[in-house]
């Protein structure tokens, strides 16, 4: 079988120090986890959607919400020190055993970006495929971009003189299987970007972030 399928991966560990129970926190009637699942299931480009978690309660909620939870993440991948790439590669190892040589791309969807849509996912995936690059990511305009500076040849210059400054918003990461298998990371020299507006680029880390996302949904 040639690699052509796309694996969607939602990382959702149980521990969260700043906002306990964050992944199951309610946002207008749906948890952050469920919003990620719904967007992943709606995205036309994702062939299979799994959740990686160490928490049985999250696993139960994920299955009830329509995602697969084929394993519980080992304890060493559920700490603050565990990297997202380690979690990704653990899921890839499972996928390669379950469906050998099936997947060409992995799409990482963090529950902490609840205002991302299926369209954002599909557009980022399309960018990666059409450009033939290793990765594609979602970004947002940098806040207070007029204050961002770079130093070129010892001279301080406004970053906006070289184009719109952008920041990663964490909503969508698309990575080719080969790039990850060869040790690559989320950003590569050929990374493409899908620009989302700043209001939908909220990243939930605190109760204040959750309230801000709720206000955006209301408006």
The answer to the question of residue 217 being in a domain is no
- The continuous run of DSSP H or E covering 179 comes out as helix 177-181
Dihedral sign, CA of 81, 83, 87, 89? negative
| Residue 195 is assigned to a structural domain of this protein | yes
- With b for 16 or more beta-carbon neighbours within 10 A and e for fewer, the 9-43 pattern comes to bbbbbbebeebeebbbbebeeebbbbbbbbbbeeb
Let me know if residue 152 belongs to a domain. no
Taking each helix axis as running N to C, give the angle between helix 32-42 and helix 56-64, from 0 to 180 degrees, rounded to the nearest 10.
40
Neighbours of 123 (CB within 10 A): 19
Q: Each residue of 146-189: pLDDT tens digit?
A: 899 999 889 999 998 889 999 999 999 999 999 999 999 999 99
- Structure tokens belonging to residue 35: 């919003």
Is the residue at 160 inside a domain?
no
Residue 71 lies in a domain: yes
Q: How much is the pLDDT for 152?
A: 86
According to the model, what pLDDT value does residue 1 have?
Answer: 55
pLDDT tens-digit map of 139-154: 999 998 889 999 988 9
Q: Tell whether 153 is covered by a domain.
A: no
User: What predicted TM-score, i.e. pTM, was given to this entire model?
Assistant: 0.94
What's the confidence (pLDDT) of residue 79? 86
Q: What is the pLDDT of residue 20?
A: 84
Which of 137, 148, 198, 132 minimizes the C-alpha distance to 171? 137
73 in helix, strand or coil? Answer: coil
CATH label of the domain that carries residue 192: 3.90.550.10
Give the pLDDT confidence score for residue 174 in this predicted structure: 98
Point out the residues of the chain with pLDDT beneath 70: 1
State the Cα–Cα distance between residues 211 and 15, nearest whole angstrom. 20
Whether 53 is in a domain gets the answer yes
Quote the tokens at residue 98.
Answer: 């379950």
Which stretches of 15-161 are DSSP H helices?
A: 32-42, 56-64, 84-98, 118-131
Determine the pLDDT at residue 5.
97
Is 78 a domain residue? Answer: yes
Give the model's pLDDT for residue 188.
96
pLDDT the model gives residue 171:
98
Query: How many domains, the chain?
Result: 1
**Angstrom distance (rounded) from CA 51 to CA 80:** 18
Range of the domain at 81: 5-139+168-212
């Amino acid at each position: 079988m040639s690699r052509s399928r796309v694996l969607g991966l939602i990382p959702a560990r149980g521990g969260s120090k700043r906002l306990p129970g964050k992944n199951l926190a309610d946002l207008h009637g749906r948890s952050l986890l469920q919003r990620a699942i719904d967007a992943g299931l709606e995205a036309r480009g994702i062939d299979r959607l799994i959740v990686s978690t160490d928490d049985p309660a999250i696993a139960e909620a994920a299955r009830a919400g329509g995602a697969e939870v084929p394993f519980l993440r080992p304890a060493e991948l559920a700490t603050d020190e565990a990297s997202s790439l380690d979690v990704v590669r653990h899921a890839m190892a499972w996928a390669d055993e379950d469906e050998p040589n099936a997947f060409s791309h992995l799409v990482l969807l963090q529950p902490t970006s609840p205002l991302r849509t299926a369209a954002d996912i599909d557009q980022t995936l399309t960018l990666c495929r059409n450009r033939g690059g290793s990765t594609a990511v979602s970004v947002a305009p940098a806040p207070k971009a007029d204050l961002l500076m770079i130093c070129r040849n010892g001279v301080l210059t406004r970053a906006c003189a070289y184009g719109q400054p952008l920041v990663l918003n964490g909503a969508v990461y698309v990575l080719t299987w080969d790039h990850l298998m060869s040790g690559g990371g989320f950003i590569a020299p050929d990374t493409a970007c899908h620009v989302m507006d700043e209001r939908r680029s909220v990243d939930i880390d605190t109760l204040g972030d959750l309230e801000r996302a709720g206000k955006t949904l209301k408006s």
